[in-house]
């Protein structure tokens, strides 16, 4: 299996190599072969080549069976023009060019960390929800412009578009995932106000007949934000458009109290991309402080989803559970009486 590694910025170059070590241990134990090729992205790529997403990086990605990304961005590149910044210059075009239309973000509470949440423990213990966010449409990729107004001042205009086909493919994934889990799908929109949400709801509704075993419901995005705080365990799988998904996935991951633990997958094109949910955390970069678990669990998702290596993925996940039970903690998830480890030592334990 050929794996493209895109360490990126901040703690990215620390955590991606830790996931590689875990993959190498898996390779030995299960007699598999992983080939790694590293490429530059984000601020690091900009500094080296003048562009945050070099053509060569795209080629490496396209030539691989899966991609493991660290994180991009940092204050150093915040004042570049938008198209050269790590976000709009690298992350969004990478998603678009590779056709990664579905972002899967599980929000799972590890039993050892149930009291890490700011929510009361009974509300989140055992929480296991999956949010599927549409990732290549909507406001993110619509036309954007600025006009000078005759009386002075300016006007910013941007466009939100969705087509039947764009909604259908991600909604189908929602139904398929719900089928494999607890068979409940919540489609989130703002159909009482937005035309795109009305189309969204119609298309999702039109597929329901093909998945009679899945219980479908619709929820407005404002209510969904409330319900995630009020009673997150009511949900199984959620599916929503790009901007709503951006907000709701971050909200949901915060419910767990330990975003340093949460992986994600972006699917759709020929090659899928896996990355931790957390950012590049420039403030703790280079100090062996970062929690490598989200990246390690992203590698496990890769083994399961892209390579079908179920036993190997489970082995990683169980190793993570075990070291947490044994009391191993990085700084972000430290609790009284536990054993505080650095990035490298945590990986060794796993």
Ligand X SMILES: CC(C)[C@H](C(=O)O)[C@@H](O)C(=O)O
Touching ligand X, residues 85-104 (CB under 6 A): 87, 91
The Cα–Cα gap between 283 and 159 comes to 35
Per partner kind, with CB cut-offs from 5 to 8 A, the member of a second copy, ligand X, none near residue 34 is: none
Residue with Cβ nearer a second copy (131 or 328): 131
- Alpha-carbon distances, residue 81 vs 85, 232, 240 (angstroms): 6, 39, 30
Size of the site for ligand X (CB under 6 A): 6
Residue 93's SS3 state is helix
247 C-beta neighbours (distance < 10 Å), count? 14
CB of 241 to ligand X, least distance (A): 12
Q: Which long-range contacts (CB under 8 A, 24 or more apart) does 39-42 make?
A: 39/4, 39/5, 39/6, 40/6, 41/6, 41/7, 41/8, 41/69, 41/72, 41/86, 41/90, 41/94, 42/8, 42/9, 42/12, 42/71, 42/72, 42/73, 42/77, 42/86, 42/90, 42/91, 42/280
Is 136 a residue that touches a second copy (CB under 8 A)?
no
Please report where in the chains the tokens 């179920």 appear, as a residue. 310
Residue of this chain nearest to ligand X (CB atom): 87
Question: Among candidates 336, 349, 334, which has minimal Cα distance to 289?
Answer: 334
The Cα–Cα gap between 119 and 255 comes to 7
Angle at 4 between CA 251 and CA 128, to 5 degrees: 30
Is 153 a residue that touches a second copy (CB under 8 A)?
yes
Per partner kind, with CB cut-offs from 5 to 8 A, the member of a second copy, ligand X, none near residue 120 is: a second copy
Is 192 a residue that touches ligand X (CB under 6 A)?
yes
Residue 222 among the catalytic residues: yes
Is 88 a residue that touches a second copy (CB under 8 A)?
yes
Size of the site for a second copy (CB under 8 A): 58
Is 218 a residue that touches ligand X (CB under 6 A)?
no
Is 337 a residue that touches a second copy (CB under 8 A)?
no
CB of 9 to ligand X, least distance (A): 12
Residue with Cβ nearer a second copy (141 or 175): 141
Residue 334's SS3 state is coil
Catalytic residue among 46, 140, 211, 274, which? 140
- Taking a C-beta distance cutoff of 8 angstroms, is the pair 301, 274 a contact? yes
Q: What are phi and psi of 6, to 5 degrees?
A: -120, 85
CB of 10 to ligand X, least distance (A): 13
Q: Which of 186, 253, 266, 306 binds a second copy (CB under 8 A)?
A: 253
CB of 90 to a second copy, least distance (A): 12
Touching ligand X, residues 5-44 (CB under 6 A): none
Q: Give the residues lining the site for a second copy (CB under 8 A).
A: 82, 85, 87-88, 92, 118-120, 123, 139-140, 144-146, 149, 152-165, 190, 192-196, 198-200, 221-223, 225-226, 229-231, 243-244, 246-251, 253-255, 259
Active-site residues: which are they? 140, 190, 222, 246, 250
């Amino acid at each position: 299996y050929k794996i493209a590694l895109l360490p990126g910025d901040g703690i990215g170059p620390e955590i991606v190599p830790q996931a590689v070590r875990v993959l190498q241990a898996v390779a030995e134990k299960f007699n598999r072969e992983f080939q790694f090729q590293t490429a530059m992205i984000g601020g690091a790529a900009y500094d080296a080549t003048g562009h945050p997403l070099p053509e060569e990086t795209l080629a490496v990605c396209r030539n691989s069976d899966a991609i493991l990304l660290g994180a991009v961005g940092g204050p150093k590149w915040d004042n570049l023009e938008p198209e050269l910044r790590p976000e709009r210059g690298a992350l969004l075009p990478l998603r678009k060019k590779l056709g990664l239309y579905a972002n899967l973000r599980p929000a799972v509470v590890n039993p050892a960390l149930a009291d890490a949440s700011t929510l009361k423990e009974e509300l989140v213990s055992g929480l296991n929800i999956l949010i599927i966010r549409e990732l290549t449409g909507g406001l993110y990729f619509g036309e954007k412009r600025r006009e000078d107004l005759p009386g002075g001042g300016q006007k910013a205009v941007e466009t939100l578009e969705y087509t039947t086909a764009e909604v259908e493919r991600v909604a189908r994934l929602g139904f398929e995932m719900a089928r494999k889990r607890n068979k409940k799908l919540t489609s989130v929109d703002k159909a009482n106000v937005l035309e795109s949400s009305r189309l969204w709801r119609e298309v999702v509704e039109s597929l329901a007949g093909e998945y009679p075993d899945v219980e479908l419901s619709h929820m407005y995005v404002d209510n969904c934000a409330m319900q995630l705080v009020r009673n997150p365990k009511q949900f199984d799988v959620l599916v929503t458009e790009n901007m709503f998904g951006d907000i709701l996935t971050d909200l949901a991951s915060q419910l767990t109290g330990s975003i340093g633990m949460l992986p994600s997958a972006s699917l759709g094109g020929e090659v899928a991309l896996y990355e931790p949910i957390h950012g590049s955390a420039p403030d703790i970069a280079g100090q062996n402080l970062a929690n490598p678990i989200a990246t390690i669990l992203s590698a496990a998702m890769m083994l399961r989803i892209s390579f079908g290596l179920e036993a190997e993925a489970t082995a990683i996940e169980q190793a993570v559970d075990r070291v947490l039970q044994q009391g191993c903690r990085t700084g972000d998830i430290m609790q009284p009486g536990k054993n505080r480890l650095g990035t490298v030592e945590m990986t060794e334990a796993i």
